Amino acid sequence: MTLNVRLYGLVTALAASLLFITGAHAGAPQLKTQAPGFYRVMLGDVEVTVLSDGTFPMDASKILTNITPKQLDTDLGRSFLKEPVEMSVNAFLINTASKLVLIDTGCGSLMGPSVGKLLSNLKASGYRPDQIDEIYITHMHGDHVGGLSADGKPAFPNAIVRAAQQEADFWLSKAHMDAAPKDAKDSYQSAMNMLNPYVSAGKFKPFSGDIELVPGIRAVPSPGHTAGHTLYVVESKGQKLVLWGDLMHVAAAQFADPSVTIHFDTDSAMAAMQRKKVFADAAEHGNWVGGAHLSFPGIGHLRAAGTGYSYTPANYSALQ
Ligand SMILES: [Zn+2]
């Protein structure tokens, strides 16, 4: 027997005993849970914490408009996605050092158990609901205002809530609700249920136009998706983050072609125009962008690419 053959025999025996040993133990159970849904970055002196409210499955082909089924298939395939698309719901917690501001509040209990996780992720991120000074609402759809109240009481007991006057006029009007088609009435009722606890406590303060709400955070009107849809611009030490709300929904289709619209738009043509303007501005200036429905943590940069844009998600930061 040569040395090589003896060595081969030894290795084979060792491998067999190793297989026996590992096979003899049951594998550890799979946990199938995700890391807590918060992600933090510094923007100059301002601390930004993205909070995940969860995700929900969405059939892009049923809700996108101004796109052919073939093009949508191509877009989803290019992003390694299939229907239904798993859509993130993100909110943004901004600590300017003098104010703690939450931008949007997720779905609360309005849209099922895969979302409504904002409060648990807020706590996981190290903050409590009673610490929040102000809440800014991009628009009053249920996946943005659903976390404001629970059981008719404010979920954020010390917060002032702010949103565009046009948005309040549209969604908090009983006359509008009464005149709306039957299947649209729920959206009005949900907005009222969420906002009214703050309205009756004198803690809802609507604003108009382009306005600085606290030093470092500005509201910029962006009507189209809804009548009073608003972007919030956070700035510190020359750095800028533009929070988009629902400026876009399906990254795989709308970065390549910003003219792709969505069924929920109040005014699709105006929404597309706003998207084109804001995308072009982000690509030109290289500022940070943050989307309510961009894949969590939903912050990154845009670059012009062909007739559309390419999106680069944030590089991971350990914040050390
Ligand atoms: Zn939304």
Q: What is the pLDDT of residue 21?
A: 52
Distance 20 CA to ligand 1 centre (A): 53
Distance 219 CA to ligand 1 centre (A): 18
pLDDT band at 13 (very low <50, low <70, confident <90, very high): low
Calculate mean pLDDT across residues 228-235: 98
Count how many Cα atoms sit within 13 Å of the Cα of residue 203 in the half-sphere of its side chain. 22
How many beta carbons lie within 10 A of that of residue 6, not counting itself?
10
Longest dimension (CA), the chain: 96
Q: Which residues, by Cβ under 5 Å, contact ligand 1, an ion?
A: 143, 246
Calculate mean pLDDT across residues 18-40: 81
Calculate mean pLDDT across residues 245-258: 98
Calculate mean pLDDT across residues 28-37: 96
Whether pLDDT at 261 is above 70: yes
Distance 143 CA to ligand 1 centre (A): 5
Distance 6 CA to ligand 1 centre (A): 67
DSSP 204: B
Distance 67 CA to ligand 1 centre (A): 20
Distance 35 CA to ligand 1 centre (A): 23
Question: Per mean pLDDT, which range of 3-7, 106-110, 169-173 is the poorest?
Answer: 3-7
Global pTM reads: 0.91
Distance 142 CA to ligand 1 centre (A): 8
Calculate mean pLDDT across residues 153-163: 98
pLDDT band at 88 (very low <50, low <70, confident <90, very high): very high
Predicted confidence (pLDDT) per residue in 189-202, tens digit: 999 999 999 999 99
Mean pLDDT score of the chain: 94
Q: What is the pLDDT of residue 26?
A: 83
Euclidean distance between the first and the last CA atom of the chain, given in angstroms as a whole number: 59
Distance 292 CA to ligand 1 centre (A): 6
Tell me the C-alpha distance between 158 and 199, whole Å: 13
